[in-house]
Amino acid sequence: TEQPRRITDSFPRRRRRGPGRPPGRLKDKKDKDKVQVKVRDPPRAPSQPPPDPALLEMLRRFDLSWEYGPCTGITRLQRWERAQELGLSPPGPIRDALLEHRDNPDVTYRWVWDGMGG
Amino acid sequence: MFSERAAPTAQGLLAPPSAEPPTFPRVPVAGYSDCSQPFRLGERSFSRQYAHIYAVRLAGMRPALERRARGRWGSDIALRKLSELQAGEKCCVVGTLFKDMQLQPSILQEISEEHNLVPQPPLPKYIQPSDELILEDELQRIKLEGAIDVQRLVTGTIVAVYGSEQEDGRFLVEDHCFADLPPPLPWDGPSSDRFVLLASGLGLGSVSGEALLSTQLLVDVVTGQLGAEGEQSCAAHITRVILAGNLLSQNTQSRDTINKAKYLTKKTQAASVEAVKMLDEILLQLCTSVPVDVMPGEFDPTNYTLPQQPLHRCMLPLASAYATLRLVTNPYQANLDGVRFLGTSGQNISDIFKYSSMDDYLEILEWTLLAGHISPTAPDTLGCYPFYKSDPFILTECPHVYFCGNAPRFQSKLLQGKEGQRVLLVTVPDFSATQTACLVNLRDLSCQPISFSGFGADSDD
């Protein structure tokens, strides 16, 4: 009698450890005394001074200009690059400002109302 | 073609076996390059709305349409946006069509409690005489009437209309045009006969096993195990096999197990597991002999939205060992021996069939080519990935062979364009229903069907 062919014959099971993951995580799970506190990363200190309101206003106008297509759900840089590829000639200073302040979430994304990502 | 060459040597079957059986080496793969990179999705994000894909579709096709409009109605016509329209002025507007259909299934209608409606059963066609066409551009929309066939057109097509705005706010169309055939590709085809076998709808895992004999006959013809020396030498000229979707039957998509509780279905195996094992064995036989490109279809285990990603190779362990097996996307585009192939597994054509008065699959296939877009109804009625940067379904170059799978019957047509385009349109029939596949000759872009049938208990002979 021959064994039924299993998919694990061709693709053997392997215990996967992601890179950088410490081995033996089962030990930590038993430690229930530790209070599970969700620690969020502290807001990253901007390396540059915060962008001035005039810049944010310029970006908001860029969002609202209908020539470059919808602004929801994509970063401003993605929208700028898409407009560039479609030949709509978006203004260069916008891209420079986006790259200069790329760490600041208020700059990279379109303005978010009530935290909805669109 | 195929059979003419085979006929004279058929007597060889009745001769005594020769000492040295002749061998026929298969024609080598001269040139192959996969061009379906735009249809491959890397990291997927579904947190976008579909407004992006419509915006890039219009922005991407607008230049071509404006060129066509100028060529057709004069280079001095006024190209206006809808916001710039003045009543009575003859002008041309480029925009996206939207067909307002009463019978179009709407999820909002179904869940609305005020209507208290039973969900609408699926119909073969959703068209009605009361449907209306609306043209949308980046900012506004306007109802269309006049010299435009409302029943024939579908939502999502980019069109240029020529006419004027009436007093009641509708646009009276005097003439309209589409993007027409895309620019031609240079021809670099082979000088001798090379065949590509197109088959779709193998339908494995169905309840009835009638089509299995025909499938085995197909595999035997391609691998040269059927027929006399004539047929075998012809089969040696087949350079590639393309399976255009629906390798599994619709029966493998059983909905009962999905609705039952998990503890009742723990031991039951999905019907597709057996079917995929059968597919693996069939592909193994084919792959040992000829390069095979496998496209997923509507009932195959891959994602539902277009573009469908290739089947995972872990499902086909026996066949994946061979480099001749290529698991490709749906739609699929590739250069085979200098001939550009582009095709889908048929979901785009059958979706247009449901929402248009066009009945003939070949007519719809030709229409998508002339409209410049593989699947205009995506994402409205056909699931589609929310692209934002560009619409990969826009036709930028004219392929030499344009096919769609899972059609009700085999049809083919050689289309000649004004700029020197030569396209072979092929509707590949559903193999499980028709037992017919297609052979395309790359030398002269001719196409012939090849049918298989077995003698069952019911047949007369």
Mind listing the pLDDT tens digit for each residue in A78-117?
899 999 998 888 888 888 888 888 777 777 766 444 444 4
Give the closest-approach CA distance of A89 to chain B in angstroms: 13
pLDDT score for B203: 87
**b/e per residue B298-337 (b: at least 16 CB within 10 A):** bbbbbeebbbbbbbeeebbbbbbebebbbbbbbbbbbbbb
Residues of B in contact with A81 (CB under 8 A): 389
Rounded to a whole number of angstroms, the distance from the CA of B47 to the nearest CA of chain A is 6
ipTM summary value: 0.79
Contact B120, B126 (CB under 8 A): no
- Nearest-neighbour CA in chain B from A3: distance (Å): 15
Shortest CB distance from B52 goes to which of A11, A67, A70?
Answer: A70
Minimum-distance CB partner of A86 among B47, B59, B138: B59
Please name the residue that has the structure tokens 């059958």: B350
The low-confidence residues of chain B, meaning pLDDT below 50, are 459-461
CB–CB of A11 and B317 under 8 A? yes
Q: Which residue of B has its CA nearest to A69?
A: B55
Tokens of B37: 């990179």
Write out chain B residues lying below 8 Å of A72, CB-based. Answer: 48-49, 51
CB within 8 Å: A70 and B49: yes
Structure tokens at B226: 């059927």
Residue B69's H or E segment, with its range, is helix B51-73
**What pLDDT is attached to residue B317?**
93
Find out whether B235 and B224 touch, Cβ atoms under 8 Å: yes
- Give B-chain residues touching A7 at CB under 8 angstroms: 314, 317
Q: Which two tokens stand for residue B429?
A: 């029939």
Helix (H) or strand (E) holding B133: strand B132-136
CA distance B147 to B242: 41
Task: Measure A69 CA to nearest chain B CA, in Å.
Answer: 6
Q: Take residue A93 and report the two structure tokens written for it.
A: 């200073």
Cα distance between residue B427 and residue B447, in whole Å: 11
* Contact assignment for B51 to A74 by CB distance below 8 Å: no
How far is CA B67 from each of CA A2, B80, B138, B353, rounded to the nearest angstrom? 68, 14, 19, 29
Contact yes or no for B286/B219 (Cβ under 8 A)? yes
- Neighbouring residues of B341: CB distance < 8 A, sequence distance ≥ 6: B196, B242, B332, B333, B334, B335, B399, B400, B401, B403
Residue B282, SS3?
Answer: helix
Nearest to B289 by CA among B218, B388, B366, B353: B218
Amino acid identity for residue B416 in this structure: Q
The pLDDT of residue A11:
74
Chain A CB contacts of B60 below 8 Å: 86
Whether chain A has a CB inside 8 Å of the CB on B278: the answer is no
| pLDDT for position B319 | 93
CA distance B395 to chain A (A): 16
Pick from B212, B255, B180, B132: which is nearest to B452 by CA?
B212
State the number of CA atoms in the 13 A half-sphere of B303 facing the CB: 18
**SS3 at position B170:** coil
Nearest to A86 among B47, B60, B314 (CB): B60
CB contact under 8 Å between B314 and A11, yes or no, is yes
Q: What is the pLDDT of residue B360?
A: 93
Please give the mean pLDDT across all residues of chain A.
71
Domain B50-106+123-177: which topology? OB fold (Dihydrolipoamide Acetyltransferase, E2P) (2.40.50)
Nearest chain B residue to A72 by CA: give it. B48
In chain B, domain spans? 24-43+183-253+268-451, 50-106+123-177
Distance of CA A84 to CAs A69, A81, B350, B356, B364, Å?
A: 12, 5, 36, 36, 34
Tell me the chain A residues in contact with residue B389 when contact means C-beta distances shorter than 8 Å: 78, 81-82, 85
- What is the pLDDT, as a whole number, of residue B46? 85
Residue of B nearest to A9 (CA): B317
Q: Looking at residue B44, what is its pLDDT?
A: 86
pLDDT at residue A115, rounded to an integer:
42
Kindly determine whether residue A11 and residue B52, on different chains, have CB atoms separated by under 8 Å.
Answer: no
Question: Rounded CA gap, B267 and B274, in Å?
Answer: 15
Who among A10, A66, A81 is closest to B138 (CB)? A66
The single-letter code of the amino acid at B379 is P
CA–CA dist B349, B430 (Å, integer): 14
**pLDDT, mean of residues A29-42:** 48
Beta bridge partner(s), residue A75? A109
Please list every residue in chain B whose beta carbon sits closer than 8 Å to the beta carbon of residue A10: 314, 317
CATH of domain B24-43+183-253+268-451: 3.60.21.50
CB-based contact A66 B48, cutoff 8 Å: no
Q: Which pLDDT score is estimated for B321?
A: 93
Return the H-helix or E-strand segment holding B257.
Answer: helix B256-259
Give the residue from B238, B223, B214, B276 showing the smallest Cα distance to B429.
B214
Distance between CA atoms of residues B70 and B64, nearest Å:
10
Q: Out of B47, B52, B388, name the one closest to residue A117 (CB).
A: B47
Q: Given a cut of 70, is residue A30 above it in pLDDT?
A: no
